[in-house]
Amino acid sequence: MRRYRLGEEPPEDLSDVTTAEARIAMMAALAREGWAAAGKAYPAYARDATPTRLFRPGEHRDDE
Protein backbone atom coordinates (compact mmCIF):
# COMPACT_ATOMS: atom_id res chain seq x y z
CA MET A 1 0.00 0.00 0.00
CA ARG A 2 1.24 3.47 -0.79
CA ARG A 3 0.16 6.78 0.65
CA TYR A 4 -0.05 9.98 -1.39
CA ARG A 5 -0.83 13.57 -0.49
CA LEU A 6 -4.23 14.74 -1.67
CA GLY A 7 -3.87 15.91 -5.25
CA GLU A 8 -0.57 14.06 -5.77
CA GLU A 9 -2.09 10.65 -6.51
CA PRO A 10 -0.85 8.79 -9.58
CA PRO A 11 -3.15 8.84 -12.63
CA GLU A 12 -5.87 6.18 -12.78
CA ASP A 13 -4.42 4.85 -16.03
CA LEU A 14 -1.40 3.03 -14.67
CA SER A 15 -0.19 1.77 -18.04
CA ASP A 16 2.45 4.52 -18.27
CA VAL A 17 3.90 3.86 -14.83
CA THR A 18 3.55 0.07 -14.42
CA THR A 19 4.32 -3.03 -16.44
CA ALA A 20 1.67 -5.39 -17.74
CA GLU A 21 2.98 -7.98 -15.27
CA ALA A 22 2.52 -5.57 -12.36
CA ARG A 23 -1.06 -4.76 -13.42
CA ILE A 24 -1.90 -8.47 -13.71
CA ALA A 25 -0.43 -9.04 -10.24
CA MET A 26 -2.62 -6.21 -8.89
CA MET A 27 -5.70 -7.75 -10.49
CA ALA A 28 -4.85 -11.19 -9.11
CA ALA A 29 -4.57 -9.77 -5.59
CA LEU A 30 -7.91 -7.96 -5.96
CA ALA A 31 -9.56 -11.12 -7.25
CA ARG A 32 -8.33 -13.16 -4.28
CA GLU A 33 -9.53 -10.46 -1.89
CA GLY A 34 -12.91 -10.36 -3.63
CA TRP A 35 -13.41 -14.11 -3.36
CA ALA A 36 -12.39 -13.99 0.32
CA ALA A 37 -14.76 -11.07 1.01
CA ALA A 38 -17.57 -13.06 -0.61
CA GLY A 39 -16.77 -15.96 1.70
CA LYS A 40 -16.04 -18.27 -1.22
CA ALA A 41 -13.04 -20.43 -2.01
CA TYR A 42 -10.70 -19.10 -4.70
CA PRO A 43 -11.16 -21.22 -7.84
CA ALA A 44 -8.47 -23.86 -8.23
CA TYR A 45 -9.17 -25.03 -11.79
CA ALA A 46 -6.77 -24.45 -14.67
CA ARG A 47 -7.45 -21.53 -16.98
CA ASP A 48 -8.31 -23.83 -19.87
CA ALA A 49 -10.92 -25.50 -17.64
CA THR A 50 -12.58 -22.20 -16.62
CA PRO A 51 -16.36 -22.54 -16.88
CA THR A 52 -17.46 -20.19 -19.66
CA ARG A 53 -20.19 -19.77 -22.21
CA LEU A 54 -19.99 -17.83 -25.46
CA PHE A 55 -23.00 -15.69 -26.37
CA ARG A 56 -23.13 -14.75 -30.03
CA PRO A 57 -24.69 -11.39 -31.03
CA GLY A 58 -28.47 -11.70 -30.83
CA GLU A 59 -28.37 -14.95 -28.85
CA HIS A 60 -30.79 -15.03 -25.90
CA ARG A 61 -29.26 -15.06 -22.44
CA ASP A 62 -31.11 -16.62 -19.53
CA ASP A 63 -30.35 -13.63 -17.27
CA GLU A 64 -31.99 -11.03 -19.56
Identify the domain containing residue 3 by its residue range: 1-41
**Which value, to the nearest 10 degrees, does the dihedral of the CA atoms of residues 21, 18, 25, 46 take?**
-30
Residue 31 covered by a domain = yes
Q: Tell me if the pTM is above 0.85.
A: no
The structural domain count of the chain equals 1
Q: What is the reported pLDDT for 10?
A: 77
Cβ density class 16-46: b for 16+ within 10 Å, e for less: eeeeeeeeeeeeeeeeeeeeeeeeeeeeeee
Does 4 map to a domain?
Answer: yes
Report yes or no on 37 lying in a domain.
Answer: yes
Cβ proximity of 23 and 14 under 8 Å = yes
How far, in Å, CA of 50 to CA of 43, rounded?
9
Sequential pLDDT tens for the chain (64 residues): 788 899 888 778 888 888 999 999 999 999 999 999 999 998 888 988 988 888 899 888 877 5
